[in-house]
Amino acid sequence: MIPDLNAIEEAARRIDPFAHKTPVLTSVNLDELTGGQLFFKCENFQKAGAFKFRGATNTIRSLPGDALKKGVATHSSGNHAQALSLAAQMMGVEAHIVMPENSPKVKVAAVKHYGGNITFCKPTLQAREDTLKDVIDKTGATEIHPYNNHTIIAGQATAARELIHDVPGLDIIVAPVGGGGLLSGTALSTYYLSAKTKVFAAEPEQADDAYQSFYQGKFIPSVNPNTIADGLRTSLGSLTYPIITKYVDQIVRVSEEGIIKAMKLIWERMKIIIEPSAAVPLAAILENTFECRKKRIGIILSGGNLDLDKLPWIQ
């Protein structure tokens, strides 16, 4: 069932003792530059460095005790793997993480750091799914999908819920969209708690499955998405697509150049580290994909995990 307000409030109570209530930052400088009034919800400061910790914690802590004994499992090389590992570790639960054998070293190290039990596989979706199935058959662990899961969505919804509580009267909230977990949660919280606020999604042009699906009115998956915003390469899921269709107002697309420019601008002017995916909403504003002048705009800075040895503006 699509999370109702009660499910989101329950998620908020459930994760409250464990997740950071992240700050909302503003920047006179970026307001001057864009003409809008921007409020940045800093999920880059969330535990494990991204909003994913909210959904993972909400989901693990909703499982019955006998399921917990057998652990949780997922296939992911990204922020969900780190978040699930840490959320599980904090409960003394085992997290089985299936990762492609070509995953970047920093990501493998991060999952290990948070106590995740890694099984490597060939770098294909088929191999990831088969290996995950093997792990689950062997351990009895519960699969926790990174976004196609209503408890995950309710957890991610708590970020926008906090933003709306901290900053009333927003005209627009912009979230990036990949698999759609964050966007679905953002749209639901906004619908329940700030119905006059519009919800916009920002997506890389080079991974625009959500845009295509939204405007063509049918589910169209990404084919070989190639964007620096590595958190946004996934396609919408069967649970996130209908929520987005119903509760999101607009999906806009941005260039790769625009993502890098917005990312560097946030680093420079706000002195905070965000990953490329988190720069996509500001890129959408800088590329004038919608009118932002004199509007109060909430922006979800989704995460801050990246390899500091490889920055897109340094060759």
Question: Can you give the binding site for a copy of itself, defined by CB under 8 A?
Answer: 23, 44-45, 49, 264, 267-268, 271-274, 304, 308-309, 311, 313-314
DSSP lists the bridge partners of residue 297 as: 38, 172
Do residues 296 and 37 make contact, with C-beta atoms less than 8 angstroms apart? Answer: yes
Please state the closest distance from residue 44 (CB atom) to a copy of itself, in A.
5
The whole-angstrom separation of Cα 170 and Cα 308 is: 33
Nearest CB to a copy of itself, comparing residues 218 and 271: 271
Nearest CB to a copy of itself, comparing residues 237 and 258: 258
Nearest CB to a copy of itself, comparing residues 79 and 194: 79
- Decide: helix, strand or coil at residue 97: strand
Nearest CB to a copy of itself, comparing residues 73 and 286: 286
Please state the closest distance from residue 114 (CB atom) to a copy of itself, in A.
11
The whole-angstrom separation of Cα 191 and Cα 194 is: 6
Please state the closest distance from residue 46 (CB atom) to a copy of itself, in A.
9
Nearest CB to a copy of itself, comparing residues 23 and 221: 23
On the 0-12 / 13-18 / 19+ scale of CB atoms within 10 A, 75 is buried
Do residues 262 and 27 make contact, with C-beta atoms less than 8 angstroms apart? Answer: no
Please state the closest distance from residue 275 (CB atom) to a copy of itself, in A.
9
Give the residue among 109, 144, 160 at the shortest CA–CA distance from 308. 109
Query: What single-letter amino acid sits at 102?
Result: N
The whole-angstrom separation of Cα 78 and Cα 111 is: 9
Please state the closest distance from residue 305 (CB atom) to a copy of itself, in A.
9
The whole-angstrom separation of Cα 241 and Cα 74 is: 21
The whole-angstrom separation of Cα 145 and Cα 9 is: 21
Give the residue among 210, 232, 238 at the shortest CA–CA distance from 148. 238
Please state the closest distance from residue 42 (CB atom) to a copy of itself, in A.
8
CB atoms within 10 A of CB 137: 9
Nearest CB to a copy of itself, comparing residues 71 and 78: 78
Please state the closest distance from residue 33 (CB atom) to a copy of itself, in A.
11
Nearest CB to a copy of itself, comparing residues 4 and 311: 311
